[in-house]
Amino acid sequence: MDPPSGFILWFTGMSGAGKSTLSTAVRRRLEGGHSVEVLDGDEVRTFLSRGLGFTRPDREENIRRIGYVARVLARHRVAVISAAISPYRESRNEVRRLATEAGIPFIEVYAQASLEALVQRDVKGLYKKALAGEIPHFTGISDPYEPPESPEVTVRTDSESVEAGVERILAALLERGLTAQR
């Protein structure tokens, strides 16, 4: 039996929307049937994109780097889970296009939550500071966040349980023949 094919599962959403929570839960469910790697936005900024700021060109370069690493891993039959804000639609579409051109399945998951829910969840108080003008270039407040136009899965993390979201993500993978697990 051939090992499962690699793919890219790309989580996007504003800070605190639940990308890391969902990606961790999906990783747990995929392990055993797949080789799985998670490219978490915060970790990538520490180890792969150190020195990049939060200007649009720097954010786009960060996403290009994540996309490149994701493609390299997926070519080697790894299930790659990226959990990065990736605020610009154009950058996400470029990552999708390059993956598709390389024959790598790309599934976009939009972790969506209302601004009110994000502010309530924010234990560090970053949203309150950003809303007060104390943090420049804060995605969704003083910098744009462009929601995906047609993600394969949208999880309303302010009204849907993590488990329900994970089940829908796994169903999308199963539907595409990328996993046998549910």
Task: Give catalytic residues, as residue numbers.
Answer: 86
Distance of CA 88 to the CA centre of its chain: 12
**Numbered residues of the known binding site for ATP:** 13-20
Backbone φ and ψ of 7, nearest 5°: -160, 170
Give the list of residues 6+ apart from residue 155 with CB closer than 8 angstroms, or none: 18, 22, 109, 110, 111, 112, 164, 165, 168, 169
